[in-house]
Amino acid sequence: METSTRKRSITVGLFVVIGIIIFVVGILTIGSMKKVFSSTITVKTIFDDVNGLKQGNNIWYSGVKIGTVKSIRFLTNSRVEVLLNIEEKSQEFIRKNAKAKVSTDGLIGNKIIVLYGGTQKVPSIEDGDVLLVEKMESTEEMLAVLSENNKNLLGITSAFKTISKNILEGKGTVGMLLNDKTLYNDVDQTMAAMKKAAVNAQTLTASVSGFTEKLNQKGGLANDFATDTIIMRDLRGTIGKLSETVSSANVMVNNLKTASADLNSNTTSPLGVLMHDEATAANLKGTLKNLETSTEKLDENMQALRSNFLFRRYFKRKAKDEAKQPANVEVKEPVNQ
């Protein structure tokens, strides 16, 4: 009897000990998961909307769990203050200018606090610091934006449907281009002409390149002009002389202009008198006319002198002497004593 009672007591004691061990292990496990037994610091953030965040939700930094949400309470201006418990071993990696935002653990999961950002030049956070927050759009706002985008997509689809219909019916420039064979043929011919022009341009470029290459060959005229200093020196000398000739011609033309101007303006010189004095010109004409009349009378006198019997013998002897002389021999007239 006592033996069975002792066995029962031992069995109960073993079960109690095992239960206590399981309980302690569970507490330690849950505390480890919730970071209850690790040294922490407390920082706070102030949100306009926590989007369903609860006490005990996790805090993540660069994909690593670093703490939990300690408490959530309202402020007087309808804002929400959230206290964060962060492990001391992660404190050195988080800077004072880091930001906090409310996110979701997975597509549909618990809300979490995500810390991000910060620069190395700024000191690490300390107990009691306030972190800046980034406003996140709620699910309702995202669904509203998605709905608006769906409406816009529907409008774009409807417009594209209308455009496609007009194109198939041959409306508009694109529709006419796709359905009008004449226009298509014109465009095709234009493209062929452009292609031919491109080929001709390529051929012309090749010809110009070949011509340039020939000009650069030694011994050619263009190469001599470009490289032979003697030819260029002679050419410069010739151009200089031509320039001097042109200058001399300009001087001569200016002198002629000056002389002409002097003749037109100076009425006292002989040429000026002849050009401008009408009386002198008339006298000159009369003198020339008198000379012409005197010459005619002199001819008549000579004819009469030939007919005179006193000189008739002389002119006959002269005619005989001229007949005896050769044609190319000059006949000297006898001198009357």
Boundary of a domain, candidates 136, 168, 189: 136
How many separate domains does the chain show? Answer: 2
Residues 198 and 195: their CA atoms lie apart, in Å, by 5
Boundary of a domain, candidates 77, 106, 136: 136
| 128 C-beta neighbours (distance < 10 Å), count | 9
pLDDT tens profile 119-177:
888 999 988 899 988 766 666 677 788 888 888 888 898 888 888 877 777 676 666 66
Domain that holds residue 38: 33-136
> Does residue 320 register a pLDDT over 70?
yes
Boundary of a domain, candidates 136, 169, 201: 136
The answer to the question of residue 271 being in a domain is no
> Does residue 209 register a pLDDT over 60?
yes
DSSP bridge partners of 99: 116, 132
pLDDT tens profile 217-243:
776 666 666 666 777 777 788 888 888
The answer to the question of residue 170 being in a domain is no
The answer to the question of residue 97 being in a domain is yes
The answer to the question of residue 17 being in a domain is no
The answer to the question of residue 76 being in a domain is yes
